[in-house]
Amino acid sequence: LDASLSRLSSGLRINSAADDASGMAIADSLRSQANTLGQAISNGNDALGILQTADKAMDEQLKILDTIKTKATQAAQDGQSLKTRTMLQADINRLMEELDNIANTTSFNGKQLLSGNFINQEFQIGASSNQTVKATIGATQSSKIGLTRFETGGRISSSGEVQFTLKNYNGIDDFKFQKVVISTSVGTGLGALADEINKNADKTGVRATFTVETRGMGAVRAGTTSDDFAINGVKIGKVEYKDGDSNGALVAAINSVKDTTGVEASIDSNGKLLLTSREGRGIKIEGDIGRGAFINPDMKENYGRLSLVKNDGKDILISGSNLSSAGFGANNFISQASVSL
């Protein structure tokens, strides 16, 4: 009778382990999982609320930046006097202060969202320990928004092993990258160096891109390559080609071994021969490609150019060994451009 009354009053078939021990265990497990999932949903909503708060704040910052751009454009025309330009600059300064105020005061439950401290914040969105998501929101103060770009100022013409250190990457510490070989072999070159830099980009804030191209100085004219003509150690041999490589012989011959050499040939819009290394390893031409290709002798060995970009507007400081093989030598000047809002 007591068991029946308990079931009637609770609406549950199982009220204690005595009713059904295994069923009780299963029910408790399901109840626990349901409660956990309910909290996980709540956590997900909190994460969404945080991102929406940050998004709304950044939307206001974008409106401020649009206004700043408009005022800068207004000041750039010669119809403005020194006095009016000074007034426009004063307006821009106040807008910059408001931009920084939004970055420094936007918060959620006491956590600053746009100051640069919201990094790798984890949210539990499932019942299991590995069911999480991480979110990072970068700093949006005027001193942190911007772009710093380094580009090697000249073509790299010598191979070697490179290792460099990024100085004060976070304002305090140095970061030492692994050694990379710059050559024409598979898994080497600026492509491998860019991969090494980019896999650490989340920590250093620096990303790399590369360009390895050898281009003729003029439109292709009829010619013949030598019997020992080769690219990156792979023999191609004698090829007879016509003006503009109209018969496609030169491009076809080079591309027939591109999977081995890593070098792809094409004719650009100006009719010039263009050799491109997609993987970022070097391009080394051996033998005679023929005068009709207009490849200068000093371009027969080319390891490309490297660009480094940092999005926080801070300087990129580099030291290391054999930096000339990456284009950072005394005679390969670095182009530097910085844009801060």
Same fold, 146-211+303-340 and 213-302: yes
Contact 111, 97 (CB under 8 A): no
* Cross-strand bridge partners of residue 283: 302
| 86-110 average pLDDT score | 92
Domain ranges of the chain: 1-144, 146-211+303-340, 213-302
Range with lowest mean pLDDT among 168-177, 187-196, 228-237, 314-323 = 314-323
Contact 312, 218 (CB under 8 A): no
Residue type (1 letter), 210: F
| pLDDT higher than 80, residue 89 | yes
Structural tokens at position 63: 């409106």
CA dihedral 284, 286, 288, 292 (to 10 degrees): -10
- From its phi and psi, is residue 142 left (phi > 0), alpha (psi between -120 and 50) or beta? alpha
What is the pLDDT at residue 127? 79
Q: DSSP strand E in 60-145: where?
A: 107-108, 111-112, 121-124, 132-135
pLDDT digits (tens, 9 = 90+) for 252-299: 999 999 999 999 999 999 999 999 998 999 999 999 999 899 998 888
Residues in the chain: 341
Q: Which CATH number fits domain 213-302: 3.40.50.300, 3.30.70.2120, 3.40.1280.10, 2.60.40.10?
A: 3.30.70.2120
- Strand 121-124 and strand 132-135: the pairing is antiparallel
What is the pLDDT at residue 332? 46
| 80-108 average pLDDT score | 91
What is the pLDDT at residue 239? 96
Contact 113, 53 (CB under 8 A): yes
| 229-240 average pLDDT score | 96
pLDDT digits (tens, 9 = 90+) for 142-156: 766 665 666 665 556
| 164-184 average pLDDT score | 87
| pLDDT higher than 60, residue 331 | no
What is the pLDDT at residue 333? 43
Contact 309, 146 (CB under 8 A): no
Q: Per the CATH hierarchy, to which homologous superfamily does domain 1-144 belong?
A: f41 fragment of flagellin, N-terminal domain (1.20.1330.10)
Which of residues 227 and 6 earns the better pLDDT score?
Answer: 227
The percent of the chain in helix, strand and coil, each rounded to the nearest 5, is 35, 25, 40
pLDDT digits (tens, 9 = 90+) for 300-322: 998 888 888 886 666 778 887 77
| Nearest alpha-carbon partner for 156 in 196, 192, 190, 187 | 190
Contact 312, 140 (CB under 8 A): no
Provide the 3-class DSSP secondary structure of residue 21: helix
Cα separation values, 294 from 154, 187, 269, 299, 315, Å: 20, 29, 16, 10, 39
Structural tokens at position 269: 């819009």
| 78-83 average pLDDT score | 86
What is the pLDDT at residue 340? 43
Provide the 3-class DSSP secondary structure of residue 195: helix
Range with lowest mean pLDDT among 59-63, 170-174, 213-217, 321-325 = 321-325
Average pLDDT of the chain to the nearest whole number: 85
Q: What is the CATH architecture of 146-211+303-340?
A: 2-Layer Sandwich (3.30)
Which of residues 151 and 75 earns the better pLDDT score?
Answer: 75
Provide the 3-class DSSP secondary structure of residue 150: strand
Contact 313, 154 (CB under 8 A): no
Range with lowest mean pLDDT among 16-30, 121-135, 245-259 = 16-30
- Residue-wise burial string across 255-272, b where 16 or more C-beta atoms lie within 10 A, e elsewhere: eebbeebbbebebeeeeb
Provide the 3-class DSSP secondary structure of residue 76: coil
What is the pLDDT at residue 230? 97
Contact 284, 273 (CB under 8 A): no
Give the separation between CA 273 and CA 262, rounded to whole angstroms.
Answer: 16
What is the pLDDT at residue 113? 93
Angle at 28 between CA 26 and CA 30, to 5 degrees: 70
| 203-223 average pLDDT score | 92
